[in-house]
Amino acid sequence: KNEVEQSPQNLTAQEGEFITINCSYSVGISALHWLQQHPGGGIVSLFMLSSGKKKHGRLIATINIQEKHSSLHITASHPRDSAVYICAVVIKAAGNKLTFGGGTRVLVKP
Amino acid sequence: GAGVSQSPRYKVAKRGQDVALRCDPISGHVSLFWYQQALGQGPEFLTYFQNEAQLDKSGLPSDRFFAERPEGSVSTLKIQRTQQEDSAVYLCASSPLTGPSYNEQFFGPGTRLTVL
C-alpha cells in the first residue's frame, strides 16, 4: 500500500465548478505539499502545510493531522486550472525528501 | 537564471548506453534532490545532497545509477548501461536550509529520458 493516496485519479469539471482533491497518508509527517504539474512542464509548489488551512487566490488547502488527511479545493474552476495536482509529504525522521501521491489529473472544460 | 535548470530537456538513448543528466540548482540552495517520474505516476525519490555530501541515496534503483555534486552546486545524475525501464522524467529540486522557504522545494523542468 502506498504511503500517500490521492483521489480521484482523474477529474473532469465544467468551468466555474468547485473542485476537491483528497489526499490521505499513513505515516507521521512534518509537512504536506500540494504541487501542480502542467503537461510537459515542471512542478510548481502551490502550498506547504503543517496544520490548518491556507488560501491563495481561488485555491484552498486544508489538513487534518489527526485524521491524516488533506484536501485541495479549487473554487470557480477555469480551463487554465487543467493540470495534474500532486500531494507530497515530508515523513518525520526521514529527512526532507518528498514522498508523493500518484497525482490527480484535472480537466476543466469551457 | 532565477530557477532550477536541467539539461538536456530530452534525451534518447539506445539500450546499453551511458547517460549523464545535469541539474543547476538555485544559487545558494544547500539541499538538492533527484526524483524519477515514470509515465502516469507520481515522482519517486532517488537521492539527496546537502552541499557536496550525498546524505541519502536509498532511492537509487540499482548500482547503475550514480549521482554527484562535487562542488556543492551543480549535480550530475549518471545512468550506466541504460535499460528500457529507466525511461522516465528525471526531476531535480533544490531547497534552502534556512529562511522562510527552508522546507519548500523548487523544481526544475525535468529531463525526459527515453531508452530504445
**Strand ranges inside B38-80, DSSP E:** 44-50, 53-56, 65-68, 75-79
A97 touches chain B (CB under 8 A): yes
**Cross-chain residue pair A31–B106, CB shorter than 8 Å:** no
Query: Is residue B1 predicted with pLDDT exceeding 60?
Result: no
Q: Nearest C-alpha of chain A: how many angstroms from B9? A: 10
What integer pLDDT is reported at residue A93 of this predicted model? 80
What is the rounded distance in angstroms from the CA atom of residue B51 to the CA atom of residue B54?
8
The size of chain B, in residues, is: 116
Which of A2-11, B26-35, B89-98 bottoms out in mean pLDDT, i.e. has the lowest? B89-98
Mutate to test the interface with B, among A3, A4, A27, A43 (most CBs of B within 10 A): A43
pLDDT band at A96 (very low <50, low <70, confident <90, very high): confident
What integer pLDDT is reported at residue B100 of this predicted model? 61
As given in the structure block, the three cell numbers for residue A13 are 469539471
pLDDT, tens digit, for every residue of A22-48? 999 999 998 999 999 988 778 999 999
**Cross-chain residue pair B105–A101, CB shorter than 8 Å:** no
Among B41, B90, B26, residue whose Cα is nearest residue B61: B90
pLDDT, tens digit, for every residue of B42-72? 999 999 999 999 999 999 999 999 999 999 9
